[in-house]
Structure 1
Amino acid sequence: MTVRRRDLLVFGGIVALIYGLRALPWDRLPGRGPRYADIADLPPFRRLEGSGQTSGATPAFVGLDPPSEDADQRRARADVVRVDPCPALFGTDGTPGVVPIAYFSEFRCPYCRALERDLDTLLAEFPASFRLVQHELPIFGPPSELAARASVAAARQGRQQELRRRFMRTPLVAEEASVLRVAADVGLDVDRLARDMTSPEVQADLDRTRALADIFGFVGTPGLVMGRTVLNGAIPYALLRRIAEDEASMPDPVC
């Protein structure tokens, strides 16, 4: 064996060792798993210590902007939701033993796209163990608000995810006509969608999501409430799956 060939083999072995070590389940080693902290004023919820990658406001600057015009109404809605958050988070059609996942997203958030791929993987691996509940949290102005209204309205026709995924792949123009064109391509009843987008029911849905974001401290997207575990930001899939397994092994949370 020549020296050059031996060196290549040694180098290849080192590379293989590095990638092999990266593939090991380090999060399962003692002291390396996820750490949780109870949320004192929101039992039985707990927060994952640390945070993932988010789009939106930086926590250090939260509170520096002047109060919004609807600040009092937002506080009042948050106080109402705080009393019994589970129906607002997960709906009322849950199945015992199936872990609900409340997902807060924004169409212009790149980290949401990464997390959605991981959520798709999780739901494909464990289709009977988890249930996804979509929450639209527009934080980037009128275009995001428009797309969020369309998404919530599409849910009333049972085609929310189809429209959302098309939005994710389409350079969306910030006007209602372009949103309705995309909706027509998906096969939605466009006249009904346009009516629903301006309805009090869709507004109430968005207000409820905003109230939930306020009480759980979601200042950016994505946000997740997986069973009783609150996560702010996109995290590696290995950690997401570990948290999911922890939740699936516990009794259903009782709010």
Structure 2
Amino acid sequence: MTNLTIIQQSPDPEQVAERSRTRRSIADKIRGMGQNRIGALLLLLATVVAILWANFATASYEAFWETHLTIGVGDLQLDFTLHAIVNDALMAIFFFTVGLEVRREFAIGELTSWSRALVPVIAAVAGLALPALLFVLVAMGSGYKNAWGIVISTDTAFLVGALALIGPRVPGRLRVFLLALAVVDDIGALSIIAIVYTANFTPLPLAVAAVGLVGVYFTRYLPSGRGPVYATLSIIVWLAFLASGVHPTLAGVAIALLVPVYRPDRRDVEHALELARTFRQSPNSEYARAAANSLRESISINERLQSAYAPYVAYVILPLFALANAGVVLSPEVLQGAVVSSLTWGIVAGLVAGKLIGVFGSAALMKITGMGEFGPGLTLDRIAGGAALCGIGFTISLFIVDLAIDDPLAQNEARVGVLAASVIAFILATIIFRISDAMHTDVDPGQTLLRPVDPKRDHIFGSPDAPFTIVEYGDFQCGFCLKASGSIHEVYEELGDRLRYVWRHAPLTQYHPNALAGAEASEAASLQGRFFEFERGLFTDQEHQRPSDIVRLARDLGLDVDRFERDLTAPEVTGRVQDDMLDAEAMGITSVPTLFVNGRRHTGPYDAQSLIRALSEGPPEATPEPQHPGG
């Protein structure tokens, strides 16, 4: 090994005694797991209640959901059963939230970049086609081969909830993969419902719906009062879909795709801050209302609606749907018929085997051939577990049972198949994840740098071919990251081009509200070749990193500010930061700064002398330093 000169420098006592190791989750994508877990449990509970109710009080169950409600004035009346209200009206809200998620993913999410979307998109398409093919082959003699739509879709609520309950130890990147896959899966399912399961089509009402949808699009330009206009037009569009013969739930999707989605604009954020400052200086109702409206308007309508409706969908609408549709009668006759029914076995084969082989097989083929982008933590064994979970069809599967099959006995056999497939898929995924975790017990991912340094990808200070490497996962608003970077630069002054220093992002957004914006801004600056100059500028003034401060720094550095502001929301910028965060989550990084010296995690002091010793001798044994909240 190259000889190193040890800098004779006393460790900073404050650095050793007070170094911050803030404990929190790095990956923002897993923050919603609590809600998803509770929603999945409520969905499961409603399913159990529906089955018990349907079997112990069959007449009561059927009579309740066939109760008629009439709504209208004079001769204009609509007559619905409770079952139809759940399936046609409440489920339109569910499909509306699905449409919002689809719109968001294609506008600012995982599906904005083809290189990032390639793997989940191809896996989703294979996971749509192969189940349908298996169903047709198995159920061909049942007379219901047209019901192949039952096996095409994955229940996203159960998928995410189950992943939270039984998933692998570091599910962050797998969860992102499965959510992107589920979006494409939903697009396929919704398209098939519209094309295959639409009967008695009447075109004239759709013309009315089209006019209403045009109104929905242009409502975004109203200066105020958009909420009532959106609500009125949505009801008109829903009624027009109902009259046309196209399933009215698809009205929710059509409306959602026209709702604007965008990242917060810097000027809107600054305006909101100014109004909030004015209210603080002179608190009154007028300033409070102006500040609240400005803050609300800085967030896109899409994201506001997702936040508003998500709890109602998870805690009310989906459990009600399960209660109304999962009430399969499990009499000996029904079970005996299901055991020998090619319809039931076609559903089980399509959901369990079709989803597993389609999703896992296509992903494995892409990984072997080098197609697409697989990050650390997205291993084939974990993809296999996720592919098995995709066999939980449930919500849309039960929904299509009602559309594709008229005979009550056959509907019961199909529901038995859906429930059995969901249970089998859950058990199979649990087994795969447990085997996967057991396979990785001999490797501690937290001690080894999972993503090797790549000169084409990483931000490297120093020679790309240097024999010594320090990788820092940090946060531009963390004072201790500033100290660590200072120490590393001292090491570089001593070693010169024998050291390469690599920065990767792990913003602690819970404690540093501007940290994520700073990380994305540095990536935007890197597109103009000024990453490390921007890094030093952010570290120089950690207290002032609001949007206007970031733009001013770009201007001071001589960047093309117009291009810089456009790049702040570019997929390659936001995706790069998210990749670093998911890598950090996969390695169990819960605090910053976290340093890797020659690929091994560094523990103990990070003054220049200690780092040079670690470079020459390996990580020193050290007593863990005190932990403090904040960075």
Task: State the TM-score, normalizing by the size of structure 1.
Answer: 0.64
| Counterpart for residue 140 of structure 1 | 509
Deviations 1:181-207 (A, max 9, x none): 111011111111111111111122111
How far, CA to CA, are the matches of 1:157 and 1:232 in structure 2? 35
| Counterpart for residue 470 of structure 2 | 101
Alignment of 1:8-157 (within 5 A): 53-57=19-23, 67-69=30-32, 74-76=172-174, 80-82=375-377, 88-92=451-455, 95-96=464-465, 98-141=467-510, 142-157=513-528
Q: Give 1:234 shift.
A: 5.1
Deviations 1:122-161 (A, max 9, x none): 1111112111121121113431111111111111211111
| Counterpart for residue 245 of structure 1 | 616
1:209 pairs with one of 558, 580, 595: 580
One-letter amino acid of the counterpart of residue 69, structure 1: G
| Counterpart for residue 175 of structure 1 | 546
Q: Check 1:234–1:200 CA distance in 2 against 1; reply closer, same or farther (3 A cut).
A: farther
Q: Check 1:52–1:239 CA distance in 2 against 1; reply closer, same or farther (3 A cut).
A: farther
| Counterpart for residue 589 of structure 2 | 218
Q: Describe the SS at the equivalent of 2:496.
A: coil
Structure ranking higher in strand proportion:
1
| Counterpart for residue 158 of structure 1 | 529
Structure number with greater CO (CA < 8 Å, separation at least 6) is 1
Q: Describe the SS at the equivalent of 1:131.
A: strand
One-letter amino acid of the counterpart of residue 53, structure 1: R
Q: Describe the SS at the equivalent of 2:508.
A: coil
Structure 2: gaps (5+ residues): 1-7, 11-16, 34-159, 164-170, 178-373, 380-444, 457-462, 619-631
Q: Check 1:170–1:52 CA distance in 2 against 1; reply closer, same or farther (3 A cut).
A: closer
One-letter amino acid of the counterpart of residue 479, structure 2: P
Q: Check 1:242–1:81 CA distance in 2 against 1; reply closer, same or farther (3 A cut).
A: same
Q: Describe the SS at the equivalent of 2:472.
A: strand
Q: Give 1:230 shift.
A: 0.8
Q: Give 1:106 shift.
A: 0.7
| Counterpart for residue 252 of structure 1 | none
Q: Check 1:123–1:52 CA distance in 2 against 1; reply closer, same or farther (3 A cut).
A: farther
One-letter amino acid of the counterpart of residue 483, structure 2: A
How far, CA to CA, are the matches of 1:24 and 1:222 in structure 2? 21
Q: Describe the SS at the equivalent of 1:148.
A: helix
How far, CA to CA, are the matches of 1:99 and 1:146 in structure 2? 31
Root-mean-square deviation (Å) = 3.4
Q: Give 1:180 shift.
A: 0.3
Q: Describe the SS at the equivalent of 1:177.
A: helix
Q: Describe the SS at the equivalent of 1:102.
A: strand
Q: Check 1:228–1:186 CA distance in 2 against 1; reply closer, same or farther (3 A cut).
A: same
Q: Check 1:128–1:246 CA distance in 2 against 1; reply closer, same or farther (3 A cut).
A: farther
Note if contact 1:54-1:234 (Cα within 8 Å) is conserved in structure 2. Answer: no
Structure ranking higher in helix proportion:
2
Structure 1: gaps (5+ residues): 1-22, 26-50, 248-255
| Counterpart for residue 135 of structure 2 | none
Deviations 1:73-118 (A, max 9, x none): 7241698314599784411458555223221111221111111111
How far, CA to CA, are the matches of 2:528 and 2:610 in structure 1? 34
Q: Check 1:122–1:200 CA distance in 2 against 1; reply closer, same or farther (3 A cut).
A: same
